[in-house]
Structure 1
Amino acid sequence: MIDEIIALNRHIQKTNDHILSIAQNHFASLSIGFGKSSNDFLPGYIREFKNKQKNISISLSDICSYEQEEQLLSGALDIGFMRQPKSKDLHSIPVSSDEFVLAVAKDLYTVKKINYYLENFNLLMMSNHSKSMINIKTMTLLKGRAHNITNISADIQTIITLILSNAGVAILPKKSILGIYDAIKLIPFEEDTRWDIHMAWNPARTSKSVDLFIEFVQAASGQAGGLFEKV
């Protein structure tokens, strides 16, 4: 019930913002969801779009992919930057990519062998939610490997702080550690862990502002790879 009430409050707030924005400048506001794998390209998209469409206000929510999908379907979000949505009611296009790596504090780094760290250090994980892409991918990568899981109820930023505190290691999207590569060593897996980041939207819940943003990102992502880095 608490989750439903929170979702309803978000939707009411979005509706109020929508009405106010239309009354003031004839454009609906935009509510955009994103994950940390979008940190390298999304600020540039937002900045350039705002330069072109100064009357459209934008709110951002840092939430995981499965929550973005739920909110896109309910109308609480207009645009999501996330893994490819499962629902056929949503449309999406790939705009970038990321990969999973083992993150180890530079102080603990000795050899470039993933199994060594999994066997000798605590593996920090997000709270165990069956819909979490990070947890699902982590459990897949752990098959056949000795490990010692420490489940914690936290977000990625908390896990990064724990890594920097030498409390353990973690399997994370590479781009989620953007900007602190000097303090954390990233060890790639032998198998392919790459996944696409999509811009997703609900075609049944569009507005002029949503259409303008989709058109902008489609044009920007199709013109040059310089707007985002393929890691």
Structure 2
Amino acid sequence: MELKHLTSFVAVADQLSFVRAAVQLHISQPALTGQIQKLEEELGVQLLARNRRTVKLTDVGTIFLEEARATLARARQAADRAQKAARGEFGRLKIAFVSSAALEIVPGIVIEFRKQHPEVALDLINIQTANQVEGLLEKTLDIGFVRLPLSNDQLSITIIHREKFVVILPKEHRLAKEKQLRAAQLREEPFVAYGRRWAPGFFDSVMQICNREGFSPNIVQETGEMYTAIALVGAGAGIAILPQSVVRAQSRNIVMKPLSKSTEHSEIALATRAGNNSSLVESFVSVARKVCKTIS
């Protein structure tokens, strides 16, 4: 059974005339008659009672007409969705993000994307950078908001946010009244670190800041969440070097100090599979770039 046969049958049923239906479909009347006959032969039923003067639906034809209309509507919907998917306007995206991007970065992008692509479903999940890489390579994720640096030849990286590192201290710390701090002043301090197993590139960046001042930090506690690190600092467990925006959102019991002479920045990027991105993924990345012009 072909869709064109269903289309022809619906046209004849609507017009109750082979002549008018043929004109509507822009085909010859013999061709239209042949299509209806072939459809009836295939079904083994009579759909139309016709003579030289009149065309009427049989009882079976009335029932079949309803189903034919529904089938054609579903076919049009399928074609429409396929075309929208090809343009990045329909489908589903599985997106992961690091918790430190959850407040200032992810919401604005998601809101704007949903506004522009209301028929795209977004599955959002909080996952650390290292696990995001695994998910992207195993194709269980489509896009990841990751903390840089990150190096993987199988991934495409698009930087969308850049900010300074800062030192966070308990409010009662001896250095809390300083306007800014040098990394060298932290030589003897216990550190709370965003652990290497969860974000190796970020961990190494913090280590490099300290190494340039000639010391390796005394890490007394590692955590897989930046907000947990802030809470530990507030509880007096040590100090930490973290991105500025993360600290701004959690200022209770802590103080934030800029790092003097430091040119390092913490960056958040969108990670996708290299060379294998759908129109849907490309659409999301495009929206993120535009939104983040006002964020970074």
**CA distance 1:203–1:129, shift in 2 (3 Å):** closer
**Matching residue of 2:123:** 59
The question of whether the paired residues in 2 share the 8 Å contact of 1:84 and 1:198 is answered with: no
**Matching residue of 1:133:** 201
Q: Deviations over 1:34-59 (max 9, x none)?
A: 22443322211101111222222212
Name the larger-Rg structure: 2
Offset at residue 156 of structure 1 (A): 1.8
Stretches of structure 1 that go unaligned for 5 or more consecutive residues are: 1-21
Q: Distance in 1 between matches of 2:195 and 2:266?
A: 22
Stretches of structure 2 that go unaligned for 5 or more consecutive residues are: 1-80
**Matching residue of 2:235:** 165
Deviates more, 1:62-71 or 1:162-171: 62-71
Task: Find out whether 1:49 has 2:113 as its counterpart.
Answer: yes
**CA distance 1:157–1:56, shift in 2 (3 Å):** same
The question of whether the paired residues in 1 share the 8 Å contact of 2:155 and 2:271 is answered with: yes
Q: Distance in 2 between matches of 1:74 and 1:99?
A: 32
Highest relative contact order (Cα 8 Å, sep 6+), 1 or 2? 1
SS of structure 2 residue aligned to 1:152: strand
**Matching residue of 2:222:** 152
Task: Find out whether 1:70 has 2:134 as its counterpart.
Answer: yes
Q: Deviations over 1:35-84 (max 9, x none)?
A: 24433222111011112222222122333333323322221211122226
Q: 1:29 aligns with which of 89, 92, 101?
A: 92
The question of whether the paired residues in 2 share the 8 Å contact of 1:75 and 1:205 is answered with: no
The question of whether the paired residues in 2 share the 8 Å contact of 1:28 and 1:207 is answered with: no
Task: Find out whether 1:179 has 2:249 as its counterpart.
Answer: yes
SS of structure 2 residue aligned to 1:29: strand
Offset at residue 179 of structure 1 (A): 1.6
**CA distance 1:168–1:197, shift in 2 (3 Å):** same
Q: Distance in 2 between matches of 1:216 and 1:146?
A: 40
Partner amino acid, structure 2, of 1:35: V
**CA distance 1:74–1:178, shift in 2 (3 Å):** farther
Task: Find out whether 1:88 has 2:153 as its counterpart.
Answer: yes
The question of whether the paired residues in 1 share the 8 Å contact of 2:112 and 2:287 is answered with: no
Q: Distance in 1 between matches of 2:281 and 2:217?
A: 45
The question of whether the paired residues in 1 share the 8 Å contact of 2:166 and 2:241 is answered with: yes
SS of structure 1 residue aligned to 2:120: coil
Offset at residue 208 of structure 1 (A): 4.1
Q: 2:166 aligns with which of 92, 101, 106?
A: 101
Task: Find out whether 1:201 has 2:272 as its counterpart.
Answer: yes
Partner amino acid, structure 1, of 2:273: N
Question: In percent, how many aligned pairs have the same letter?
Answer: 22
Q: Deviations over 1:81-135 (max 9, x none)?
A: 222642233223222212322111223213343444442x421123453962232
